Structure 1
Amino acid sequence: MEANLNLLHLIYLLFTLIILGVMIRKRDTSLVCIIGIFLLGIVATSSLSQSIMAVFNSFIYAIIELMGTILIISIIVGMSTILTKTGINEVMISPFSKLIKNPILAYWVIGILMMIISWFFWPSPAVALIGAVLLPVAVNAGLPAIGVAVAMNLFGHGIALSGDFIIQGAPKLTADAAGIPVGEVISASIPLVFIMGAVTTIIAFIMIKRDLKNGNIRVEKDEKKSKDKEEDLSNILSPRTKKIFAVLVPVLFAIDVVVMFIEKLQGGDATALIGGTAIFILIIVSLLTYKEKALEEITAYLVKGFKFGFEVFGPVIPIAAFFYLGDEGFIKVIGDFLPQGSQGLVNDLGIALANAVPLNGGVGAVTLTTVGAITGLDGSGFSGISLAGSVARLFGAAIGKGIATLTALGQVAGIWVGGGTLVPWGLIPAAAICGVDPFELSRRNLVPVVIGLIVTTIAAMFLM
């Protein structure tokens, strides 16, 4: 397994490092990403016009890839807006307020619920379900929106997705590439997933508590309420009607969960079911609230949701456009200009790293974590984990043991980085539902995730 690297790989790696540096310095990355895309285009095609077109086409490609997430966020926001204005949301969350009485309970209850739902249906629909119902409860209990986003992110896109014990999409990919049964990868991943999960969630919680105490983050209750003061609809619906909807909304989403389980809906299909349900809730509440004006108001709420969705995604589209070029996006946007036998820029770099290090247990574990993290930079979390399985097979065969553990380690690293805890567009669902900056959420996750990866890698050395 060899990687034929050229100038394209060097440019991609250089700009990846520059982008990471700019993000750490809390500066916008759009200009850097655009320059990186342009340079990749000019080197690949040797054409100024093709390179300029590549910048625009990369944006289109990123928007198409992200459209499902943009739509579900926009629709949930539109639905949540009218539920809040009519007072239904306040009635709906009142029972949860009795359970979640403080920031500690808010963080762990939301996180564990997110993890459980994500195991069965993957994180994107789970974010919509949990965020729409429990975000206001958590804020009222004293946990800032950024804390809610961290909890949903680490437990859902981190713990649940990296193990993927129920759906088994991730372990199937890595097991096939490693040439071992899926059951072996799942068994080997259980201790790694929970070590990683425990370290990251505990460190993140400690950091949130510290920042709350020091005043670095605050609960913006008043600010959240002020957004909806433009129109008071709280007295239009009767108390009885509000109570009916307060029960009906969670029941409808619960029915969605049952349907997902029975029909085995996952990923995009599960998200579509949640989104469609939210649209009909928005329609019904609008009809009862606005009556003859409902036709115009339904459109207005959808437009508000879409404006919010694209406002949140706007800064992310350029960076997503750049990193999508690391995978199959390069051929679709720029053309088939990669070296013969290339598996994509990101995977080629991972293979080159694997070939450049000596073969032993300790180095093997560190390499698999690094390869997994590198392949996760394209933002999908899944596209590169087959490479992790292949590299694990190579190292395991050379060492004479540990193929399953190394495979699981690469899977965990790839999904934690790319599945939605560090790469900004991967964690947008949680950030958007909670109304926080995805780049700020990424920076807040960085320290817990990096420490977690280090600890998990060390643990893997002893488990091989």
Structure 2
Amino acid sequence: MGVELTALHWIYVSFICIIIALMVWRKDTSLACMVGILLLAITATGSLPLSISVIFKSFIYAITELLPTILVISMIVSMSKLLTITGMNEVMIAPFAKLIRTPSLAYWTIGILMMLISWFFWPSPAVALLGAVLLPVAVRVGLPALGVAMAMNLFGHGIALSGDFIIQGAPKLTADAAGIPVSEVISASIPLVFVMGIVTVTTAFFLLRRDMKKGNIPQSEAVSIEVSEVQSHLLTKRMKVIFAFLIPILFGLDVVAMYYFQLQGGDATALIGGTAIFILSLLSLVAYKKNGLEQITDLFIQGFQFGFKVFGPVIPIAAFFYLGDSGFQAIIGEFLPKQSHGIVNDLGVALSSVVPLSKEVGAVTLAGVGAITGLDGSGFSGISLVGSIAKLFATAIGTGMATLTALGQIAAIWVGGGTLVPWALIPAAAICGVSPFELARRNVVPVVTGLIVTTIVAMFLI
């Protein structure tokens, strides 16, 4: 199963370290990512002109991969802007405002709702559903938009996706690779998922509350998707009431359709996006009447401007990290060793092959391999490898296959699914109007703390 590491692997690792260091220092990473792409391409092809073109091709690949997310975020933001302009958001958030009265209540309520919806439909559509309605409520009671983004991200892309108890996409992949039933992986993952989740979201909450008290999170950041001009006269009080009921009903019907037609992931997100477009179009025609057609286009433009403004800084870093997995072949071509499973997966295999075998080392290694394979930003691409390595370790140790498999799965999805890789947490960051890089930085300490505690707990369960 071993793969010989080449110059490509070492260049990739070096630039991961450089990019992480720049993020820590709060410096822009775009130039480092482009230099990394260029060096990888030159090393693989030996051609400077071809390597220069690879930079552009990698951007195209990254945009293509991110485009569904860019579109749904843009449409949700367009709809949110119209709700704000017409004063509809005031009417819609009134019931929630009575329930959510403090920043702490906002954090835990949004997080738990996010987790519950994400278990059934995965996190991206859940972000779109909750963000548009609950963000203004949370901001109003004093929870910064960054706190809302953290809650949605950690509970959804963290707890819900890493366990995936309902849809079972993640445990199916890891269980198949490990050669054990899915039920065993799910059973073994339950205590680890909740240890990881409780430690992480609690740590994040206390750090957030501390920084709020110190004033380290400016409240003004929280309302970047709001507009200054509110024209409440565009809709009568009766029309506002009608739309206040119609909009939740339409999104509620989306949830029913997701369940009935078993729509998940991208299909569920597309349904949410299409519904947002329909609401935007209908509300614009009713509010602006004969000028409604022009307003629809103008709102689309505003949404796309916001979407690409948020995603712009992320495209170079996504382009670089996609080269660690299937993107390498699509962008550069067949220049990896024949036995290679992708640069990131090769690094995971190399790590597992150089460590001694024991329960403690096995747990640490599986967590490390899972985190490394998550660096490509999908969380799912490397979990089959995690299952295979867990099988090797468990066979050598003589026990703990399901626990090791579950631990590797949790590490891979928390890192790449994701709460640490910047473009993996774009949906929550974009809906809340905060920087995905800042959100990633905020998540580092809670997530790393959670992984350490979870790995220690796993040692006792093996």
Runs of 4+, deviation exceeding 2 Å: 218-221, 223-227
Residue 346 of structure 1 contacts residue 378 of structure 1 at CA under 8 Å; is this kept in 2? yes
The equivalent residue for 1:406 is: 404
The equivalent residue for 1:24 is: 24
Whole-angstrom distance in 1 between the partners of 2:260 and 2:415: 31
Residue 5 of structure 1 contacts residue 339 of structure 1 at CA under 8 Å; is this kept in 2? no
The equivalent residue for 1:208 is: 208
User: Does residue 176 of structure 2 align to residue 173 of structure 1?
Assistant: no
1:316 aligned to 301, 314, 324, which one? 314
Whole-angstrom distance in 2 between the partners of 1:341 and 1:234: 63
What is the CA-CA distance between 1:64 and the residue it aligns to?
0.3
The equivalent residue for 1:234 is: 232
Q: 1:282-301, CA deviations, whole angstroms, 9 ceiling, x for partnerless residues?
A: 00000011111111110110
Q: 1:301-338, CA deviations, whole angstroms, 9 ceiling, x for partnerless residues?
A: 01100010000000000000000000010000001000
The equivalent residue for 1:246 is: 244
Q: Which runs of 5+ in 1 are unaligned?
A: none
Q: 1:158-204, CA deviations, whole angstroms, 9 ceiling, x for partnerless residues?
A: 00000000000000000000010000000000000000000000000
Whole-angstrom distance in 2 between the partners of 1:112 and 1:22: 33
Whole-angstrom distance in 2 between the partners of 1:224 and 1:368: 40
The equivalent residue for 2:344 is: 346
Q: 1:394-421, CA deviations, whole angstroms, 9 ceiling, x for partnerless residues?
A: 0000000000000000000000000020
Q: Secondary structure at the match of 1:248?
A: helix
Which residue type is aligned with residue 199 of structure 1?
V
The equivalent residue for 1:13 is: 13
Alignment of 1:126-205 (within 5 A): 126-205=126-205
The equivalent residue for 1:297 is: 295
Q: CA RMSD in A?
A: 1.0
User: Does residue 242 of structure 2 align to residue 266 of structure 1?
Assistant: no
Which residue type is aligned with residue 266 of structure 1?
Q
Whole-angstrom distance in 2 between the partners of 1:95 and 1:81: 20
Q: 1:123-152, CA deviations, whole angstroms, 9 ceiling, x for partnerless residues?
A: 000000010110001111111100000000
Alignment of 1:273-284 (within 5 A): 273-284=271-282
The equivalent residue for 2:437 is: 439
Please report the TM-score for the alignment, with normalisation by the length of structure 2: 0.99
Say how many residue pairs are matched.
462
Whole-angstrom distance in 2 between the partners of 1:330 and 1:365: 30
Whole-angstrom distance in 2 between the partners of 1:213 and 1:270: 38
The equivalent residue for 1:449 is: 447
What is the CA-CA distance between 1:225 and the residue it aligns to?
8.3
Whole-angstrom distance in 1 between the partners of 2:194 and 2:373: 22
What is the CA-CA distance between 1:423 and the residue it aligns to?
0.2
Which residue type is aligned with residue 175 of structure 2?
A
What is the CA-CA distance between 1:227 and the residue it aligns to?
4.8
Residue 83 of structure 2 contacts residue 89 of structure 2 at CA under 8 Å; is this kept in 1? yes
Which residue type is aligned with residue 112 of structure 1?
I
Q: Secondary structure at the match of 1:32?
A: helix
User: Does residue 92 of structure 2 align to residue 92 of structure 1?
Assistant: yes
User: Does residue 67 of structure 2 align to residue 74 of structure 1?
Assistant: no
What is the CA-CA distance between 1:226 and the residue it aligns to?
9.6
Distance 1:238 1:408, change over 3 A: same
Whole-angstrom distance in 1 between the partners of 2:177 and 2:310: 36
The equivalent residue for 2:223 is: 224
Whole-angstrom distance in 2 between the partners of 1:35 and 1:217: 33
Q: 1:95-148, CA deviations, whole angstroms, 9 ceiling, x for partnerless residues?
A: 000000001110000000000000000000000001011000111111110000
1:430 aligned to 425, 428, 431, which one? 428
The equivalent residue for 1:37 is: 37
What is the CA-CA distance between 1:251 and the residue it aligns to?
1.2
What is the CA-CA distance between 1:224 and the residue it aligns to?
2.9
Q: 1:252-276, CA deviations, whole angstroms, 9 ceiling, x for partnerless residues?
A: 1111001100100000000000000
